[in-house]
């Protein structure tokens, strides 16, 4: 089954073609980061307008790269939520219209399900069950995944998401948007032991997180010592955030008896997180699976893949559609 996947929930337009027999055939991405950079964050109206400009050229590109044409497509998957309503509507409208014209099914995919299943787009995918650490700009969750659509929430952030904490801390340190990659680059040149920042909820005994206190601690530190030591502050922040993420993820695996841990979402691209997690997990007999680096952040491949799993189970549907800017992952139907 050949599935076209369309992602447009935030500031990246992603389109991909996934073949359930052959795997990923092609994927293309247009990032709006440069456009939003001037504003210090994503401007929803500008994001929607740009998705409109990009989505069809990217679709033509993946078709051309994989040597396929529109009639070859068996189904279309699009991000239905969560995300920016106007941005979601661009992908949903395009996908639904194209599916109607081609007389094929369309399916709305949960953005975080896409992230969570993205490590499965691999020649050596992890087997179910596994624990998933979802660390994106908008979400930080630990989930027990026992199959497609079988998700149990183990814990989540009570305030800021991990990526949001990276972005806000980067802003305090005068780095651009999105802050995560810039902060981690600066942190690599700093001394993480120079300053000690709090590890919020490290010993709370549950799988929940809190990152807003850490961000406030950075603000207090910056006010005290200034930006002359920004690299050391960045390293201290990263060490604190990563320690909590690693510790809670491994505790969630031990608690649920899972020997596999999947890391997904933009913060999963963080080199320090990957290094510590892989090392500490191995010491406890846990294998860690990451998506390809390019599939850590938003992309069409993960939507095409998740959609293919759902379309394979013949989900019908009428011609009406709605996007879900807020959507609880644990409420999905199991396949």
Site for ligand KG4, rule CB under 6 A: 10, 136-138, 163, 166-167, 178-181, 184, 265-267, 269-270, 297-298
Options 94-102, 167-175, 215-223, 292-300: segment touching Zn ion (CB under 5 A):
292-300
Angle ∠(279,283,285) on CA atoms, nearest 5: 115
Nearer Cβ to ligand KG4 (138/200) = 138
How far apart are CB 161 and Zn ion at their closest, in Å? 10
Q: 202: which residues sit within 8 A by CB, 6+ positions away? A: 243, 244, 247
SS3 assignment, position 142:
strand
- By DSSP bridging, strand 12-19 and strand 2-7 are antiparallel
Residue in this structure with the two tokens 């980067």, named with its chain if needed: 170
Residue 229 has a CB neighbour count (10 Å cut-off) of: 17
Kindly tell me which of 13 and 136 has the beta carbon lying closer to Zn ion.
136
- Rounded CA separation 291/115 (Å): 9
For residues 181 and 200, which CB has a smaller minimum distance to ligand KG4 in the complex? 181
- The nearer residue to Zn ion, 246 or 302, going by C-beta atoms, is 302
Question: Which of Zn ion, ligand KG4, none does 269 bind, CB closer than 5 to 8 A by kind?
Answer: ligand KG4
Specify whether the CB–CB gap between 86 and 8 falls below 8 A: no
Residue 101 phi/psi, 5-degree rounding, is -65, -35
Question: Contact at 8 Å (CB) between 252 and 154?
Answer: yes
In angstroms, what is the minimal distance from the CB of 179 to ligand KG4? 5
Name the minimum Å distance from CB 177 to ligand KG4: 8
DSSP state of 53: H
For residue 57, the Cα-to-chain-centroid distance in whole angstroms is 24
Comparing CB distances to ligand KG4, the nearer of 32 and 66 is: 32
Give 128's contacts (C-beta < 8 A, 6+ positions apart): 145, 146, 147, 150
| Shortest distance (Å) from residue 298 CB to Zn ion | 4
Our CB check for ligand KG4 shows the closer of 105 and 200 to be: 200
- Chosen residue from 66, 79, 118, 136 binding Zn ion by CB under 5 A: 136
Residue 244 parent element (H or E): helix 230-256
Least distance to ligand KG4, CB of residue 64, Å: 26
String marking each residue 296-325 x if it binds Zn ion according to CB under 5 A: --x---------------------------
- Among Zn ion, ligand KG4, none, the one that 155 touches (CB under a kind-dependent 5 to 8 A) is none
**163 versus 200: smaller Cβ distance to ligand KG4:** 163
Report the C-alpha gap between 7 and 90 in whole angstroms: 9
| Closest approach of ligand KG4 to the CB of residue 201, in Å | 19
Count of chain residues binding Zn ion (CB under 5 A): 2
Query: Binding residues for Zn ion, per CB under 5 A?
Result: 136, 298
């Amino acid at each position: 089954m050949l599935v076209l996947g369309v992602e447009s929930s935030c500031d990246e337009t992603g389109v991909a073609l996934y073949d359930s027999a052959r795997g990923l055939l092609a994927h293309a991405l247009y990032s709006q980061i440069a456009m939003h950079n001037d504003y210090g964050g994503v401007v929803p109206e500008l994001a929607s307008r740009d998705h409109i400009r990009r989505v069809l050229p990217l679709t033509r590109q993946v078709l051309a790269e994989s040597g396929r044409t529109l009639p070859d497509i068996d189904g279309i998957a699009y991000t239905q939520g969560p995300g920016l309503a106007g941005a979601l509507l661009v992908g949903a409208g395009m996908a639904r219209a194209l599916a109607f014209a081609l007389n094929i099914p369309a399916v709305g995919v949960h953005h975080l399900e896409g992230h969570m299943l993205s490590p499965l787009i691999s020649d050596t995918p992890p087997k179910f069950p596994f624990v998933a650490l979802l660390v994106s700009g908008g979400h930080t969750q630990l989930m027990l995944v026992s199959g497609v659509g079988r998700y149990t929430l183990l814990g989540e952030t009570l305030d800021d998401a991990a990526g949001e904490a990276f972005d806000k801390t980067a802003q305090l340190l005068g780095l651009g948007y999105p802050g995560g990659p810039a902060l981690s680059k600066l942190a690599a040149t700093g001394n993480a032991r120079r300053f000690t920042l709090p590890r919020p909820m490290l010993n709370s005994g549950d799988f929940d997180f809190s990152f807003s206190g850490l961000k406030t601690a950075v603000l207090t530190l910056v006010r005290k010592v200034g930006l002359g030591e920004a690299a050391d502050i960045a390293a201290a922040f990263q060490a604190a955030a990563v320690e909590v993420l690693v510790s809670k993820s491994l505790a969630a695996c031990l608690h649920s008896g899972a020997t596999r841990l999947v890391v997904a979402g933009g913060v999963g691209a963080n080199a320090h997180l990957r290094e510590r997690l892989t090392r500490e997990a191995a010491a406890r007999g846990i294998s860690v699976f990451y998506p390809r680096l390019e599939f850590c952040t938003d992309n069409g491949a993960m939507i095409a893949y998740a959609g293919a799993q759902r379309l394979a189970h013949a989900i019908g549907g009428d011609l009406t559609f709605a996007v879900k800017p807020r959507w609880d992952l644990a409420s999905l139907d199991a396949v």
